[in-house]
Amino acid sequence: MRIAMIGSGYVGLVSGACLSEFGHTVICVDKAEDKIAALKQGQIPIFEPGLDEIVAANVKGGRLAFGTDLGEAVRDADAVFIGVGTPSRRGDGHADLTYVFAAAEEIARALTGYTVVVTKSTVPVGTSRQVEAIIRKVNPAADFDMASNPEFLREGSAIEDFRRPDRVVVGCDTERARGVMREVYRPLYLNETPIVFTTRESSELIKYAANAFLATKITFINEMASLCEKVGGDVQDVARGIGLDGRIGGKFLHAGPGYGGSCFPKDTLALVKTARDAGAPTRLVEAVVAVNDQRKHAMAEKIKTAFGGVAGKTIAVLGLTFKPNTDDMRDSPSLTILPALQSAGATIRAYDPEGTREAAKLLNLTFCGDAYEALEGADGVVILTEWNEFRALDFARVKTALKTPLMVDLRNIYRPSQMAAEGFRYVSVGRSDAAPGTVVDMPQRRSESN
């Protein structure tokens, strides 16, 4: 099967590379000539574990190529995936479909033979039909069907998510298109991945509904964390206690500083707008958006309280990206929390394993080469992102480097009892600061975060 992937950003690149690994012949196209030139040299523009190996192996195997000529890629393709960006439109929060529609026009002019045109980018309900209308208008003779095939890739584990998804969702109206899409995902039939065939509208909505539901789960547990702090509970035990109910499920119940990233903030906002325009407002999702925004400010206040005020103080910050294993800073809680601390008079020394280059464009603070350098002479440390390398800090070194042994851990990577024993004043999320930690008598207690 020959596949053209239009857009070589995060979604396009990961999807294109993984589809070539399935054995298809894939050309990833992008208008950015410098990006394509770099990819041709084997340079991957994003940090995603395992992506460089897959790209290198499939380029070598002749199944993956990069180019700037959309027409050439589309002409021979059996399936054309649109994986261009859909940022939030400035001002109103709607998804900006300029790039999607521009790609549709170009695709229309290049189509030859029967082709399935697939929207892979996250697009509002109805977009697939709009793309279809554009293609029909530009090229009335084109022989094509449309399909919607949203991605559910998590940054940092996108390759694994693509290879072993919980499900694949495909919206299309004809058996012929279903046949092509079955062929695209044939390797997944071997490990019995459910493929949900539905209408294009349902498929488009599934993506938004999934992200809004996950964002709701996180926001719910964050509110429970705040309540635990007031009434003396332990949010991790609350999460475990409710998560073991199969109807609730234990994943995405890890309390923290609020969700960020390229998807949840943008998609929840877009869903709210779509629903309002449709006259069926999603009041629950509206509340989630507002509570999550507020949470980031509340975290700045929590830090200020822990430090007894931050004016004139130096704060070491570990982790800047919205989550570990990515260099992505989009909507990271650090972008709200750190400027708030700086406005209150704090000096920030920060370290992030992969995010420094992106963070330096957005934050004006001292960037350090490793965790211990960031800690040097600081009045305390704040853990903002749960990178693995922060999970096993050398406490003796930490205490020597810090002026006072204060740790604010917004990801709950340590246990209060352990930190108290190590001689730290330890402030975490949804747990009593100095409590010994609740013992839950459960065989094979598993991590239930994400």
Q: Give how far the C-alpha of residue 93 lies from the chain's centroid of Cα atoms, to the nearest Å.
A: 18
Residue 337 lies near ligand UDX (rule: CB under 6 A): no
The CB-of-260 to ligand UDX minimum distance in angstroms stands at 4
Q: Which residues pair with 314 in a beta bridge?
A: 347
Q: Catalytic pick from 18, 28, 172, 263?
A: 263
The CB-of-143 to ligand UDX minimum distance in angstroms stands at 31
As a whole number of angstroms, the distance between CA 166 and CA 448 comes to 17
The CB-of-77 to ligand UDX minimum distance in angstroms stands at 24
Q: With CB under 6 A, what is the number of residues at the site for ligand UDX?
A: 22
Where in 394-423 is the site for ligand UDX (CB under 6 A)? none
Binding part of the chain for ligand UDX, among 111-119, 125-133, 210-218, 396-404 by CB under 6 A, reads 210-218
The CB-of-338 to ligand UDX minimum distance in angstroms stands at 15
Beta strands 144-148; 168-172: pairing state: antiparallel
Site map (CB under 6 A) of ligand UDX, residues 243-272, x = contact: ---------xxx-x--xxxxxx--------
Shorter beta-carbon distance to ligand UDX: residue 3 or 384: 384
Q: Which of 2, 94, 136, 154 binds ligand UDX (CB under 6 A)?
A: 154
Please tell me what DSSP assigns to residue 350. E
Residue 151 lies near ligand UDX (rule: CB under 6 A): yes
Shorter beta-carbon distance to ligand UDX: residue 274 or 314: 274
Rounded to whole angstroms, what are the CA distances from 162 to 28, 79, 86, 153, 159? 17, 18, 20, 7, 5
Shorter beta-carbon distance to ligand UDX: residue 262 or 314: 262
Shorter beta-carbon distance to ligand UDX: residue 218 or 329: 218
Q: Which of 10, 66, 152, 162 binds ligand UDX (CB under 6 A)?
A: 152
Shorter beta-carbon distance to ligand UDX: residue 9 or 256: 256
The CB-of-332 to ligand UDX minimum distance in angstroms stands at 7
Rounded to whole angstroms, what are the CA distances from 344 to 139, 308, 337? 59, 12, 11
- Residue 397 neighbours by CB distance under 10 Å: 12
Binding part of the chain for ligand UDX, among 181-189, 211-219, 225-233, 351-359 by CB under 6 A, reads 211-219
- Residue 97 neighbours by CB distance under 10 Å: 20
Please tell me what DSSP assigns to residue 390. G
Shorter beta-carbon distance to ligand UDX: residue 107 or 214: 214
- Dihedral sign for Cα atoms in the order 237, 240, 242, 248: positive
The CB-of-49 to ligand UDX minimum distance in angstroms stands at 12
Sequential DSSP letters for 62-77? TSEEEES-HHHHHHT-
Site map (CB under 6 A) of ligand UDX, residues 431-450, x = contact: ------------------xx
Name the burial class of residue 442, with classes exposed (0-12), middle (13-18) and buried (19+) by CB atoms within 10 angstroms of its CB.
exposed
The CB-of-329 to ligand UDX minimum distance in angstroms stands at 11
Is 263 labeled as catalytic in the residue annotation?
yes
Residue 355 lies near ligand UDX (rule: CB under 6 A): no
∠ Cα 191 10 30 (to 5°) = 115
Shorter beta-carbon distance to ligand UDX: residue 115 or 211: 211
Shorter beta-carbon distance to ligand UDX: residue 117 or 221: 221
Rounded to whole angstroms, what are the CA distances from 209 to 205, 258, 264, 356? 6, 19, 11, 32
Cβ-Cβ contacts under 8 Å for 382 (sequence gap 6 or more): 303, 315, 316, 317, 318, 407, 408, 409, 410
192: tokens are: 């019995």
Residue 323 lies near ligand UDX (rule: CB under 6 A): yes
As a whole number of angstroms, the distance between CA 180 and CA 168 comes to 14
Residue 322 lies near ligand UDX (rule: CB under 6 A): yes
Residue 153 lies near ligand UDX (rule: CB under 6 A): yes
The CB-of-355 to ligand UDX minimum distance in angstroms stands at 13
Which position's Cβ is nearest ligand UDX? 263
Q: Which residues pair with 426 in a beta bridge?
A: 407
As a whole number of angstroms, the distance between CA 155 and CA 47 comes to 9
Q: Which spans of this chain sit near ligand UDX (rule: CB under 6 A)?
A: 151-155, 211, 214, 218, 252-254, 256, 259-264, 322-323, 449-450
Supply the residues annotated as catalytic.
263
